[in-house]
């Protein structure tokens, strides 16, 4: 007769995880001066971005412009724990706030936005492509998710050179579905690279909610299959963010490899300046502004530490003056001369080669510009004829149909 196996008594003990995990972050306890610094830095980002939006509306900033308003606590909380020039930072195209949080001069950032020679990328990068190797800030990247493998490479550099640095690689909820992100995760874990993957989950990516576009909306779990631990943090609280930064830096600096932090945050403006953000309600935005604003949250914490309203008003005035001066500098600075882009396309050549190559590029560029202009004139004439024909026939039905599509699906992603 077969024996029945004895069942082990049920245990109330939780299962032992098969790998080490970081401790749960605690809210950081700052001194009065530290919290004043965090408040000032967040306010600088807010006022800077507000002015950038105004300059964009006036036509002084061209191209795309992605504002960081509402997400200030993430950049300030994380980067206040890092060491400038020793640690590296890389991000996507919503990069102005990250640069300001790393102590880079607002004047050269604003001048880059207006495309001036005094800009931090000599006026050639614009809003999405800013660099400061001196600070350890490596962009500013316009391709969604491209900064993640590049950041993994920066982390490899830190480990290879043994400089003790950590790379902070930002990306958003929209980029969390990019294939290159997971290739980078795999390499980072295999080599135990010192990299913090900071996911700024502002809920809507380019215009589609996380719930509609992600099969796993808890983004801090995205590294599980690579054995990369993840934690989720309130990204609207600068002290919660700073507490998470302390845990993440301890983890990576001690040689335990990469870590993922998902920050639940919110952008008050559209994805870019051209996005009317019709995929969410005004009431939702107002609820975040009134109930969860990171700057107001810090102001309440400062009041609890004895900082009065007059002191906060004085800080606001100081910050506004800094931003006004940065805007004036950016408007008055000269534009870069048109051939200036050519000499920076090569490295390692002799000065004579560089000058000769620059002249060849300038000559080729002139011919190409003439060809493009001619093509543009021809396309313009074709377009004008098409519009005249359309006006004769009437196109109310087409326009009405497009408006109907917008009403049916107001949540379509807009760039």
Residue owning tokens 């609820």? 287
Does residue 301 carry a pLDDT above 60? yes
Residues 222 and 304 reside in one and the same domain: yes
What's the burial of 239, exposed, middle or buried (CB within 10 Å: 0-12/13-18/19+)? buried
Residues 174 and 224 reside in one and the same domain: yes
pLDDT at 342: 55
pLDDT at 338: 75
Picking from 332, 347, 368, the residue at the C-terminal end of a domain is 332
Give me 349's structure tokens.
């050549």
Q: Is 179 domain-assigned?
A: yes
The residue count for the chain: 415
Q: Which of 226-235, 249-258, 333-342, 349-358 shows the lowest mean pLDDT across its residues?
A: 349-358
Q: Which of 18-32, 187-201, 345-359 shows the lowest mean pLDDT across its residues?
A: 345-359
pLDDT at 347: 52
As a whole number, mean pLDDT of residues 194-222 equals 96
Residues 242 and 318 reside in one and the same domain: yes
Peptide bond before residue 140 is cis, with ω within 30 degrees of 0: yes
Q: Is 3 domain-assigned?
A: no
Q: Is 21 domain-assigned?
A: no
- H/E/C letters for each residue in the chain? CCCCCCCCCCCCCCCCCCCCCCCCCCCCCCCHHHHHHHHHHHHHHHHHHHHHHHHHHCCCCCCCCCCCCCCHHHHHHHHCCCCECCEEEECCCCCHHHHHHCCCCHHHHHHHHCCCCCCCCCCCCHHHCCCECCCCECCCCCCCCCHHHHHHHHHHHHHHHCCCCCEEEEEECCHHHCHHHHHHHHHHHHCCCCEEEEEEECCCCCCCCHHHHCCCCCHHHCCHHHCCCEEEEECCCHHHHHHHHHHHHHHHHCCCCCEEEEEECCCCCCCCCCCCCCCCCHHHHHHHHHHCCHHHHHHHHHHHCCCCHHHHHHHHHHHHHHHHHHHHHHHHCCCCCHHHHHHHHCCCCCHHHHHHHHHHHHHHHHHHHHHHHHHHHHHHHHHHHHHHHHHHHCCHHHHHHHHHHHHHCCCCCCC
Rounded distance between C-alpha atoms, residue 263 and residue 98, angstroms: 15
Q: Is 360 domain-assigned?
A: yes
Q: Is 1 domain-assigned?
A: no
The mean pLDDT of the chain is 84
Q: What band does 215 get if pLDDT is binned at 50, 70 and 90?
A: very high
Residues 53 and 147 reside in one and the same domain: yes
Q: What band does 337 get if pLDDT is binned at 50, 70 and 90?
A: confident
Residues 319 and 272 reside in one and the same domain: yes
Residues 285 and 354 reside in one and the same domain: no
Residues 53 and 161 reside in one and the same domain: yes
Residues 372 and 276 reside in one and the same domain: no
Share of the chain above pLDDT 70, in %: 77
pLDDT at 406: 35
369 or 87, which is more confident?
87
Residues 71 and 217 reside in one and the same domain: yes
Share of the chain above pLDDT 90, in %: 74
With both helix axes pointing from N to C terminus, report the angle between 72-79 and 32-57 in degrees, rounded to the nearest 10: 130
pLDDT in tens, 371-400: 433 443 444 444 444 444 444 444 333 333
Residues 343 and 328 reside in one and the same domain: no
| Distance of alpha carbon 73 from the chain centroid | 13
Rounded distance between C-alpha atoms, residue 188 and residue 408, angstroms: 43
Task: List the domain range (segments joined by +) for residue 293.
Answer: 32-332
- Of the segments 3-17, 287-301, 334-348, which one has the largest average pLDDT value? 287-301
Tell me the CATH number at 242: 3.40.50.970
- H/E/C letters for each residue in 122-143? CCCCHHHCCCECCCCECCCCCC
pLDDT in tens, 18-49: 689 999 999 999 999 999 999 999 999 999 99
- Of the segments 32-36, 63-67, 272-276, which one has the largest average pLDDT value? 32-36
Q: Is 408 domain-assigned?
A: no
Residues 255 and 362 reside in one and the same domain: no
What's the total number of domains in the chain?
2
Q: Is 41 domain-assigned?
A: yes
Residues 347 and 264 reside in one and the same domain: no
Does residue 361 carry a pLDDT above 70? no
Q: Is 19 domain-assigned?
A: no
Does residue 193 carry a pLDDT above 60? yes
């Amino acid at each position: 007769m077969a024996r029945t196996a004895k069942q082990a008594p049920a245990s109330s003990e939780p299962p032992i995880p098969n790998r080490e995990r970081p401790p749960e972050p605690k809210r950081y306890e700052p001194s009065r001066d530290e919290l004043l610094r965090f408040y000032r830095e967040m306010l600088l980002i807010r006022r800077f971005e507000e002015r950038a939006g105004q300059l964009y509306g006036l036509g002084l900033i061209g191209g795309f412009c992605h504002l960081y308003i509402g997400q200030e606590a993430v950049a300030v909380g994380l980067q206040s724990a890092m060491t400038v020039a020793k640690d590296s930072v890389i991000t996507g195209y919503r990069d102005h706030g990250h640069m300001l949080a790393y102590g880079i001069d607002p004047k050269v950032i604003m001048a880059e936005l207006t495309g001036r020679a005094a800009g931090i990328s000599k006026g050639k990068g614009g809003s999405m492509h800013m660099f400061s190797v001196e600070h350890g800030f490596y962009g500013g990247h316009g391709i969604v998710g491209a900064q993640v493998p590049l950041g993994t490479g920066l982390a490899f550099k830190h480990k290879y050179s043994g400089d003790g640095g950590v790379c902070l690689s930002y990306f958003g909820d929209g980029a969390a579905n990019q294939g290159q992100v997971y290739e980078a995760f795999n390499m980072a874990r295999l080599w135990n690279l010192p990299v913090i993957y900071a996911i700024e989950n502002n809920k809507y990516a380019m215009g589609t909610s996380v719930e509609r576009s992600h099969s796993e909306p808890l983004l801090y779990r995205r590294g599980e299959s690579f054995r990369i631990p993840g934690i989720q943090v309130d990204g609207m609280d600068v002290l919660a963010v700073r507490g998470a930064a302390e845990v993440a830096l301890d983890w990576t600096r001690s040689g335990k490899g990469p870590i993922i932090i998902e920050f639940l945050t919110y952008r008050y403006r559209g994805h870019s300046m051209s996005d009317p953000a019709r995929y969410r309600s005004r009431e939702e935005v107002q609820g975040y502004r009134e109930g969860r604003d990171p700057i107001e949250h810090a102001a309440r914490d400062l009041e609890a530490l004895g900082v009065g309203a007059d002191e906060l008003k004085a800080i606001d005035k100081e910050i506004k003056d800094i931003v006004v001066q940065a805007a004036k500098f950016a408007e008055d600075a000269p534009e870069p001369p048109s051939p200036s882009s050519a000499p920076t396309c090569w490295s390692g050549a002799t000065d004579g080669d560089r000058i000769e190559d620059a002249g060849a590029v300038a000559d080729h560029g002139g011919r190409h510009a003439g060809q493009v202009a001619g093509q543009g004139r021809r396309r313009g004439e074709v377009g004008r004829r098409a519009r005249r024909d359309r006006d004769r026939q009437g196109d109310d039905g087409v326009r009405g149909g497009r408006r109907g599509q917008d009403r049916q699906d107001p949540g379509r992603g807009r760039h």
